[in-house]
Amino acid sequence: MSRLAGEFAGILRVSVPAANADALSSALVGLEASGLRVVVERGFEEEPEEGHLIHLELIGSDRPGIVHAISEALAARNVNVDELNTECDGAPWSGDTLFKATARLRAPQALDLDQLRESLEAIAGDLMVDVTIGEIE
């Protein structure tokens, strides 16, 4: 959930018995009459993917290109971003804007996690941010 351009936007995943799905969808779309616009999309149950689940944390002074540089390095190694949360906050010691990100990643089984860690740490050094990664058990 977030506030974007003065508007509230959110994504919610809901599971209901198939027999109730149409009624729920109609009720949610009907909320538009009271000023709440809801878009309903039907999903499907995905097969679990193979690979390493990785938790990534990043923190440092905010500047353009942080997400781009990290995601480019991940994509080059066929690492998928399953979930990404970012926020900007004031740094307590300087008042500068502090950028924080946490992500759940899925890496191919054949990927060497130490090599991924080294490459992300090299990028983090260039960006002057701290990156921590670890495999999720």
- The pTM for the full model equals 0.65
Maximum C-alpha span of the chain: 56
Measure the CA–CA gap between 42 and 33, rounded to whole angstroms. Answer: 22
pLDDT in tens, 75-87: 999 999 999 999 8
pLDDT tens column, 2-32? 777 888 788 877 888 889 999 999 999 899 9
Q: Is residue 8 part of a domain?
A: yes
Specify if 30 maps to a domain.
yes
- 122 & 82 share domain: yes
**Which residues form the domain of 98?**
52-135
Amino acid found at 30? G
Q: Can you read off the two tokens belonging to residue 132?
A: 């921590």
Q: Which of 87, 114, 101, 91 is nearest to 55 (CA)?
A: 101
Phi, psi of 122 (to 5 degrees): -65, -45
CB 105 within 8 A of CB 79: yes
Beta strand ranges found along the chain (DSSP E): 2-4, 7-9, 52-61, 80-90, 97-107, 129-135
CATH of the domain at 64: 3.30.70.260
